[in-house]
Structure 1
Amino acid sequence: MPISNGLSYLDESQTTVIGDSNNVNEVSVAETQKSMGVQVNAASTVYKKVYTKVKYKSWYKSWYKSWYKYHGKWKYKWKYKWKYTWKYKWVITYKKVTTSSTTTSSSSSVSSSSTSSKSNTTNSSNSTSSTSSSLTKYLKATTNCQSTSTTIKSKAKSITSGKTSSYAKAVAVYNYVRDKIGYSFYYNTKYGAVGTLSKKTGNCCDTAHLLVALSRASGLPARYVHGYCKFSSGSWYGHVWAEVYVNGKWYKADATSSRNSFGVVNNWKTSTATIYGKYASLSF
């Protein structure tokens, strides 16, 4: 399921910090300890976007060198010296960083404990609201994920008819895409969700578009995952698949192989895959 490099290459010094949506801050405990004069250790986890070289791009170097050095000095110089250096130099990886801070409070009173209890209720409510808000973007239609299309909505309704739970709906959508959509080899997006449903075939990008669109049309948050995977054939390829959010958990949904099932991937090794990013919309 190869795809071309669809990443945005930025300056090495530029980094972005992305919050971990799976963390829930239990502030009530910290506030109570603080009111009792206890030292509090607060930890938070973030993902830091970094730009690094990876070995899988090195074959371009040898290929350009062996091919273009016999096809003219300037052509070789442009292809190997410039295009390889800048286009294939950087890829995005995500580094998990945990930071901690220590605070000490010497004040202790009954009113402080009462305030902490109220804060617990408020923050629990805010945490739930924040989680729901963070999933909103995974329910919206995008350029190639036409989840509000009449065609997509009608098909989603037909697929999930009679299914009462979110999990049952997610499995039904996944099984439909896996069993009814064939695989075609080409790079990047070509048809989008509606086109893939019509043609009944697509590459990994378009298969993911359809699965994400049908999931969102069924009221299930879904997103794209872009990575570099070692397939059962032994070859490494850039790959795109979907993830669907059900009952507080993200499930892998790679419908490009009949060997896979909802939440289970068998046609490539999940343990060795490099994840480039997870997106609400696929840009390539």
Structure 2
Amino acid sequence: MELIQNTPELSAYLAASDVIDHEHPLVRTVAATLRADASDAYTYAKAAFEFVRDTIPHSHDIGDPRVTWRASDVLEQGTGICYAKAHALVALLRAEGIPAGLCYQKFDVVHGLIAVRLPGEERWARQDPRGNKVDVDAQFRIDREQLAFLIRPEFNEVDWPVLFAEPHPAVLQCLQEAVDEPHLWQTLPTEL
């Protein structure tokens, strides 16, 4: 899928913010640890993806009531839903100078994932750090997508082709206003 950048300047996909706080000491520490074993941008990006996908459980899968939204909080608390995990992965990528942004899909509710643009690549490659389970097998790929979920147009599911430098306001609002994970699950956006 060809993504449309929401912000024309590539620098927007490297910027730090309150949500994508890649200048936070914890984000920097995790990034440095992952970078130590990476020989290039590709191996670092893959390691960051696998770290978020595999070591930070999806809070709904494990019944964790905590709601995280800031990248450093996701890393510190070790939990988050798809949006929060996407924020953490984008922060880890940007911490090492790799442009990354946020993407969304619509199922019954909006699902969050990311896109990365590795050096020498002309296109963005979507990745889904949601976390694997019995019926989910997301992998880091730049040759083709292997996301957590396939879109089924016959069920009005949609791949939104827009790449955001920051979380969509509807996504961020539901995360920040949630009292706990059960409340969050009741207020997830169904449209953007």
Flag whether TM exceeds 0.5 (same fold).
yes
With a CA cutoff of 8 Å and minimum separation of 6, indicate the structure with the bigger relative contact order: 2
Q: Which amino acid aligns with 2:150?
A: K
Alignment of 1:1-284 (within 5 A): 134-185=9-60, 190-229=68-107, 236-246=108-118, 247-248=120-121, 249-258=123-132, 259-263=137-141, 264-270=145-151, 272=153, 273-275=158-160, 277-282=162-167, 283=169, 284=172
| Aligned CA-pair RMSD | 2.3
- 2:20·2:90 contact (CA, 8 Å) conserved in 1? yes
User: Alignment identity in percent?
Assistant: 24
Q: Where does structure 1 differ by over 4 angstroms across 4 or more consecutive aligned residues?
A: none
More strand by share: 1
Q: Which amino acid aligns with 1:170?
A: A
- Structure 1 CA distance, aligned partners of 2:148 and 2:36? 30
- TM-score computed with the length of structure 2 as normaliser: 0.69
- TM-score computed with the length of structure 1 as normaliser: 0.48
What are structure 1's unaligned runs of at least 5 residues?
A: 1-19, 22-46, 48-132, 230-235
After superposition, the C-alpha distances for 1:124-174 in whole angstroms (9 at most, x for unaligned) are xxxxxxxxx821110011111101111101110101213222111110110
| Displacement of 1:270 | 4.4
- Structure 2 CA distance, aligned partners of 1:213 and 1:227? 20
- Structure 1 CA distance, aligned partners of 2:151 and 2:42? 22
- 1:227·1:277 contact (CA, 8 Å) conserved in 2? no
| Displacement of 1:209 | 0.6
Residues 135 and 266 of structure 1, relative CA distance in 2, 3 Å threshold:
closer
| Displacement of 1:268 | 1.0
- Structure 2 CA distance, aligned partners of 1:139 and 1:266? 23
Q: Which amino acid aligns with 1:226?
A: Y
Give aligned pairs, total.
147
What are structure 2's unaligned runs of at least 5 residues?
A: 173-192
Q: Matched residue of 2:43: which SS? A: helix
- 2:128·2:148 contact (CA, 8 Å) conserved in 1? no
